[in-house]
Amino acid sequence: MQWTMMLVLLLACLGVGEAVTECYDCTSSDAGCGDTFDKAAQAKYLKPCTTGLTDACYKGKVNGVVAIRSCMSTAGCAFSGNNDCFEESSDNVVCCCTGDGCNSATTRQVSYVALAAMMFVAKAVF
């Protein structure tokens, strides 16, 4: 039993290789790559990331218009943090995220219902 646990732990630590993230890869010159992005209609832009840029996606806006969606490494997202945006100026924003197809999203908005529910649960628990 002891050897079985050690073998399971060893295999879990080794992993099975580097997972490749799929990101939308398009520019503003491509039809349908703007902020009104329909994931189902734009499935042709969802592509596996290449080696070295395999673990994050990003979306860049210039002058308030989506300029590019593509792959990036999480190390390259250090300026904004993963799953967050960095506003260089009011017109230039770069958003990084982790997870397949995560760079399809439009600008994030707060769900006030979810926020109220979390506050209610926190108050009930504490």
The dihedral through the CA atoms of 25, 30, 35, 37 has a sign that is negative
Q: Phi and psi at residue 76, in whole multiples of 5°?
A: -75, -15
Structure confidence at residue 36 (pLDDT): 80
* Cβ-proximal residues to 86 (8 Å cutoff; 6+ apart), any chain: 79, 80, 93, 94, 95, 96
pLDDT in tens, 65-77: 888 999 988 888 8
Ranges of residues in the chain whose predicted pLDDT is under 70: 1-19, 80-81, 106-126
Structure confidence at residue 120 (pLDDT): 54
Structure confidence at residue 49 (pLDDT): 92
Structure confidence at residue 7 (pLDDT): 29
Structure confidence at residue 35 (pLDDT): 80
HEC string of the chain equals: CHHHHHHHHHHHHHCCCCCCCEEECEECCCCCCCCCCCCCCCHHHEEECCCCCCCEEEEEEECCEEEEEEEECHHHHCCCCCCEEEECCCCCEEEEECCCCHHHCCCCCCCHHHHHHHHHHHHHHC
**Which domains are assigned to the chain?**
20-125 (2.10.60)
- Cβ distance 83 to 97 under 8 Å? yes
CB atoms within 10 A of CB 84: 13
- Give this prediction's pTM: 0.64
Structure confidence at residue 64 (pLDDT): 81
